Amino acid sequence: MKDNTKKTRGKRSYAGLWIILVAAVVLEATSCIQYFYSRAGIRAEAEQRALSELRRAELEINVVTIEIETAAKMLVMLAERNIDNPDSIANATRILLNTVDKISSAGIACVPGYFPAKGRWYEICSSRDTCQGAPCIYTRQIGGPDHDYFRAEWYNNGMTIDSCWWSEPYYDDAGAKAMTVSCTHPIRNSNGDIVAVACVDLPLDYLQSVSEHLQIYKDSYYSIRSGGGQDIVPEADTVPGRKYQIYDEDIDKTGWKISIIIPEDVIFAGLNRIGRIVSLLMLLGLALLVFILWHAARDMMRLVSSTARNERMEGELHIARAIQMAMLPQSWKEDGTRAAGIDLYAVVIPAREVGGDLYDFYRREDTLFFCIGDVSGKGIPASIVMATTRSLFRSVSMHENDVAAIVSQMNGTMSDMNSENMFVTFFIGALNLKTGLLQYCNAGHNAPVLIKSGNDTISPLPSIPNLPLGILSGYAYTPQTATLCSGDTLLLYTDGLTEAENAAHAQYGEERMMQELRNITAAAQPEARTVVEQLQQSVSRFVNGAEQSDDLTMMVIRHTAPDGSLDRKQGEPVRHTIVMRNDIQQIPTLAEWVESLQLPRSLDMTINLALEEAVTNVMLYAYPHDKSGQVLIEAEKTDTAVTFVISDSGTAFDPTAQPPADITLSAEERAIGGLGIHLVRQIMDSIAYRREDGRNILTLVKKF
């Protein structure tokens, strides 16, 4: 009897040892898998951060190079007016340095013997200097046998390339007396012959300051190389044996390449520290497992209790789903549809009991406010963020009309409370139900699809990519506008639609969605509910019973406009609108908007330059520095001209009251200011100002 007891205990001991061994193997395998995926996620995050910073730096450098190229073209324009007068072209270089502060020097190099009285060489150059302890501009003729610019690469390329050409980095010992890169452009006389080359220098110190913003990790460093492989911002020396991650971004405008170099041990320092902690926890887990084996009976009771808790939790999740669905508006009241001129239907299908997708809409006076969003992650945490986002949308939009301001306030609140690093892709719109004017702002969400009535045009709504909510507090969101005509339909959706997968892990895709929309709208303009239901059926056929991997949300808004007042009649002008805040950083978005007007290509650059000058004046002088405001720019395009109306509600300011600038005078003799409005007058055919109903209204006309 005693021997049988010993054998039984021995078998139990061996069984317990096997359980411990298997548990150790499972824990180790789990730890390795977690480490692998965590490392891949951290690497992806580092890459995303690096590329995001690189793109920001690329954008900043592109803005500067565009400004330098514009300055070079401005210098060419000023020089060509008085190309036969050496004093006038010298004055042009001084004017340019007074106007653009990023330029270290500017020069005009003439062909051999162009001014016989000046000899074979004539290169006039203005550069920044110090006179009696104060900054000044020094103008001189630097061409000669000791500075034979005819052999210089910038001069020869400037003579042969009929556009702005960027040089390799070089030390300018005659002009700026510093390391620079130059933008050159040919200058022609009245006969169209090239008689000189304009050269505008950008100091490398400025590009060094741009790269200093990219310090996203400790011990990371940066470099900028030219298209010819020369260092513009040289990279630091690497440590032998230390592994690095290198991320590059090409600057298409100049052919340069900007790089971030990050040591791998810096990227994975946190993961390695956590790995050591996890190993210690694994040992503690094994010790705990031994303890659990000695208390098997008690564990069985705990299992029964745990089962009961799970059942209770499942019931609570069902209730949570019902509460979450009840938070979302279910339908647009039928009695308000015809009066409002709107047909709207939306649906959300969570992948789990509760999800992170949201939509919302409501009417305030004559405006329909609506939104759609997708929270990163799934389950209960995502549902909590979803509820918070929807509540913020309602509370902020109830007293704010500017969609960019609504998104900015929501982003600030969510960023401050985002301890779990969750974010929300979000799209907001405000549709005027009388005029059809749609103001919208996209915070990293899928661009909605616009279905135009009558011409079978189905395309994404043009959307500027902004950051999702909750990532960066203080981010400046850019609003956009569009006009919905009678019968136009807008489809808003989350990526659960295009990324729905079948059993083979193939995705539904954007192309399939667009084709399905063409099929739905081929015969007639269907109701909003019909569009949503047929898309839902198409996705169901595609996945064919496969498990849903992500939340799916769709919202369709159809502007019915029963009176037809929004339809554009034949021959009427085309109108476009953009709303900007009084923030100089928003100026680059003007170029994209002007391009969308489809003006004659030869006028794009000059019109954009004039608009930038006019809008900058408003931002600088109409509003005090501590006050925020809006600038409304309306464009009316006909077959023969385009008219821009720039209006704001700031302090009265008449830019046309400035006297004409006399550019023939030297910088010391000429009054400060006035060059910008002088440039606008030169480009536009007419310019007029009026003060009406407390608003500044500036009208610019350019004929084709």
Confidence of residue 236 (pLDDT cuts 50, 70, 90): low
Predicted pLDDT of residue 545? 85
pLDDT digits (tens, 9 = 90+) for 429-482: 999 888 788 999 999 999 999 998 866 688 899 888 899 999 999 899 988 988
Distance linking the first and last C-alpha atoms of the chain: 111
Query: Is the per-residue pLDDT at 172 higher than 70?
Result: yes
Predicted pLDDT of residue 509? 93
Find the mean pLDDT for residues 138-162: 88
Exposure b/e, 54-81, CB count within 10 A at least 16 = b: beebbeebeebbbbbbbbbbbbbbbbbe
User: Where along the chain do its domains lie?
Assistant: 51-282, 329-559, 574-703
Q: Name the CATH superfamily housing domain 329-559.
A: PPM-type phosphatase domain (3.60.40.10)
Considering only residues 174 and 483, tell me which one the structure prediction assigns the higher pLDDT. 483
**Residue 501 DSSP SS3:** strand
Considering only residues 151 and 670, tell me which one the structure prediction assigns the higher pLDDT. 151
Predicted pLDDT of residue 565? 42
- List the alpha helices (DSSP H) in 178-330: 204-211, 264-267, 269-293, 296-327
Count CB atoms within 10 A of the CB of residue 360: 21
Q: Please state, in angstroms and rounded to a whole number, the distance separating the CA atoms of residues 605 and 23.
A: 69
Considering only residues 568 and 16, tell me which one the structure prediction assigns the higher pLDDT. 16
Query: Is the per-residue pLDDT at 621 higher than 60?
Result: yes
Considering only residues 84 and 316, tell me which one the structure prediction assigns the higher pLDDT. 84
Considering only residues 204 and 534, tell me which one the structure prediction assigns the higher pLDDT. 534
pLDDT digits (tens, 9 = 90+) for 258-299: 888 888 777 777 777 787 787 777 778 767 766 776 666 566
Query: Is the per-residue pLDDT at 325 higher than 60?
Result: no
Query: Is the per-residue pLDDT at 396 higher than 90?
Result: yes
DSSP 584: G
The answer to pTM > 0.85 is no
Q: What sign does the dihedral 562-565-566-570 (CA atoms) show?
A: positive
Task: Supply angle C-alpha 330, 335, 337, rounded to 5.
Answer: 75
Considering only residues 561 and 105, tell me which one the structure prediction assigns the higher pLDDT. 105
For residue 166, list its beta bridge partners: 183
Percentage, residues of the chain above pLDDT 90: 22
Class of domain 574-703: alpha beta
Kindly calculate the radius of gyration of the chain based on its CA atoms and give it in whole angstroms. 33
51-282, what's its fold? Beta-Lactamase (3.30.450)
Find the mean pLDDT for residues 41-52: 79
